[in-house]
Amino acid sequence: MRRYSGRLASLAAAILFALAAVAPSLADGKRHQVGSGETLWGLASLYRSTVEVLVKLNGIADPDLIVAGQTLQLPDDGNAQPATQAAPAGDAVYEIRPGDTLSAISLRFNVSTQVLQAANRLSNPDLIIAGQKLSIPGAPQTSVPIVPTPLLPPVSPEIENVIAEVATAEGVDPKLVKAIAWVESSWYQGAVSHAGAVGIMQITPWTAAWLEAEVFGQPLNEETSVYDNVKAGTRLLRILMSATGSVDLALAAYYQGLTPTQAGVLYQETIGYVQAVLAVKARFWP
């Protein structure tokens, strides 16, 4: 759920959601929110600073101990901008996800690591962080964030068991839920979008509030509980499937909201999102 939101008085109004790119590591002016796996050395290199400067600026006692979610102040010297934020015109853009490596990205898009390194002016191919944008030479430009399909089926017994249990209880195809969850977050519960959507199914705060108040009648913990997050997203999908009578339209509504979908409006981004979910499902869970 990523882009479009609004106030409505009806059920259709209540489930208009926002969907944004998954990126727990965010650069915001002179601050940086630490992402999973990041190090102070790596951030110093990325922002053209030094470990010593960041330690002093943030009062860090142990340079080897920074944690995901921690916000760091960056030096106010005019250079505190990521070295590789924008991609060259003419290439598709991929936003790095937690756990990505340059070699894995090269395999996904059939582009050599050397080409990726040169196209993005990466001085250190081992230094890429979640949220950073890479140019993918030769890949078609698209307004929809690229969703790389892994070479092997994703495997996470804990998450797959939760999805299977919840989807079966809701009467929804578990394979479809798996595909949505993969496109939304790569099965990463710690994912937080720029719009505040959280977790595996990328549940926005207003969606969560509506589901808790009007659908479940009880509070859920979508932010930290995999089970509650999947429960919320799967129930939402079931509602949308009932409202639209179509898997494709339900996926469209999951992305852009029910109101424009029922009005027959499908944004180009929405079409790409639906195609991405169905492609992932067809490849691994047909």
157-170 pLDDT per residue, tens: 999 999 999 999 99
What percent of the chain lies above the pLDDT cut of 70? 71
Distance, CA of 82 to CA of 69 (rounded, Å): 18
Q: Each residue of 236-280: pLDDT tens digit? A: 999 999 999 999 999 999 988 888 888 888 877 788 888 889 988
* pTM of structure: 0.55
> How far are the Cα atoms of 19, 152, 200, 234, 266 from residue 203, in angstroms, in the given order?
9, 27, 8, 11, 21
- Amino acid (1-letter code) at residue 170: E
Nearest CA to 145 among 137, 133, 153, 157? 133
Catalogue the active-site residues. Answer: 184
Q: Is 64 exposed, middle or buried (0-12, 13-18, 19+ CB in 10 A)?
A: exposed
**Beta-carbon count within 10 A of 90 CB:** 9
Mean pLDDT to the nearest integer, 170-185: 94
β-bridge mates for residue 133, sequence order: 95
* Domains within the chain, CATH numbers bracketed: 2-21+152-284 (1.10.530.10), 26-73 (3.10.350.10), 92-136 (3.10.350.10)
